[in-house]
Amino acid sequence: MGSGALFLFTNKQRDKIKVLYWDKTGFALWYKRLEKAKYKWPAKEQNEVFTLTQFELDRLLSGFTIIGHKPVQINDFTMT
């Protein structure tokens, strides 16, 4: 587990993502929720392991699709 591997999980609605990793002292969990969009994720039937580059991971977490690199459209964003 100390290989620097990240494990990504999404919910059924595909608007939340969790990243599980080992940080040398224990497991850490990172969580992100998209307000008005969905993550592009393989179908449930495709129970495969995918290897992503850091660039692809950054794009995915920024709301882009990994295939085709299309941005997620965000309308009327306000920060409170």
Residue 11 resides in a domain: yes
pLDDT of 2 strictly over 60: no
Residue 37 resides in a domain: yes
Pick the residue with more confidence: 2 or 55? 55
CA angle 14, 71, 52 (to 5 degrees): 65
Query: What is the model's pLDDT at position 55?
Result: 83
Instruction: Specify the number of domains making up the chain.
Output: 1
13 is in which domain, residue-wise? 6-61
Residue 1 resides in a domain: no
Residue 69 resides in a domain: no
Does an H or E element contain 17, and which?
strand 16-22
Residue 70 resides in a domain: no
First to last CA, the chain: 38
With cut-offs at 50, 70 and 90, classify the pLDDT of residue 70. Answer: low
List the one residue out of 61, 79, 80, 18 whose CA is nearest residue 71: 61
Residue 44 resides in a domain: yes
**Contact criterion met (CB below 8 Å) for 18 and 31:** yes
Q: Can you tell me the mean pLDDT for 59-70?
A: 70
Pick the residue with more confidence: 17 or 71? 17
